[in-house]
Amino acid sequence: MRDVVIVDYGAGNLLSVERAVKVAGGKPIITSDPKVVASATGLIVPGVGAAADTMRNLRERGLDRVISAFIESDRPFLGVCMGMQALFDISREGGKHECLGVLGGEIVRFPEEAVVPHMGWNIVNQVSEHPIMAGIETGFHFYFVHSYFAAPTESACVIAEASYAGVNFPAVVGIGNLMATQFHPEKSGPAGLRLYQNFIDLLS
């Protein structure tokens, strides 16, 4: 069993992520302790809710720096939904909020006239190769819930895209061992579980 540390920063329930990790063959460890995060082999930052709350919760617990340092060390990292958006420079959700800045770019809203949240199952199209997508065919559906999306400075980090309200946006980003999904793989049936399995396979 490979240990997977799941960061608990007080944003919603982590049960489904924990369960998905278990089913995919990992041993989930839920923690808000920066020391446990710092010494993890593999790290998952899940999350729902607003960007400002997320960043405040991470900072208050001293988790923002250890997460950045963890990613810097090139150990396998998976961000999910808000855990992906937090990786970028700035979020425009409810103002202008500084995020972790591990990836260049901003988090911006779908067009004014769009029905938001973008909620439900959408097709994910792979645009570049990455082990996180092993066995996941282009055109598989994943479950999304979000009103903002990532606009990266460099498109090189985009592994897969989805399309909504006339916008093509990153559904999966990744550079080496840094990976993140805008959708919720833990709510996306067998394809989502495969993604968690791919992540766990990267842990040595």
Q: List residues binding other proteins (CB under 8 A).
A: 12-13, 15-16, 19-20, 48-50, 113-123, 141, 143-147, 163-164, 186-190, 192-193
Min separation Cβ 21 and other proteins, Å: 12
Catalytic residue among 81, 99, 157, 161: 81
Assess whether 157 carries a catalytic annotation.
no
Burial-class residue 147 by CB neighbours within 10 Å (0-12, 13-18, 19+): middle
**Closer residue to other proteins (CB): 94 or 104:** 94
Catalytic residue among 93, 106, 161, 186: 186
Residues 159 and 175: their CA atoms lie apart, in Å, by 9
Min separation Cβ 29 and other proteins, Å: 18
Residues 45 and 182: their CA atoms lie apart, in Å, by 12
**Closer residue to other proteins (CB): 7 or 20:** 20
Min separation Cβ 11 and other proteins, Å: 8
Contact (CB, 8 A) for 88 and 104: yes
Q: Other CB atoms closer than 10 Å to residue 91's CB: what's the count?
A: 25
Residues 131 and 101: their CA atoms lie apart, in Å, by 24
Residues 14 and 46: their CA atoms lie apart, in Å, by 8
**Closer residue to other proteins (CB): 13 or 39:** 13
Min separation Cβ 91 and other proteins, Å: 15
**Closer residue to other proteins (CB): 31 or 147:** 147
**Of 57, 71, 42, 16, which is closest to residue 184 (Cα–Cα)?**
16
Name the 3-class secondary structure at 113: coil
Compute CA 13 distance to the chain's CA centroid, rounded to the nearest angstrom. Answer: 15
Min separation Cβ 125 and other proteins, Å: 11
Assess whether 141 carries a catalytic annotation.
no
**Of 147, 82, 85, which is closest to residue 117 (Cα–Cα)?**
147
Assess whether 60 carries a catalytic annotation.
no
**Closer residue to other proteins (CB): 38 or 121:** 121
Catalytic residue among 97, 118, 146, 184: 184
Q: What residues are annotated to the active site?
A: 81, 184, 186
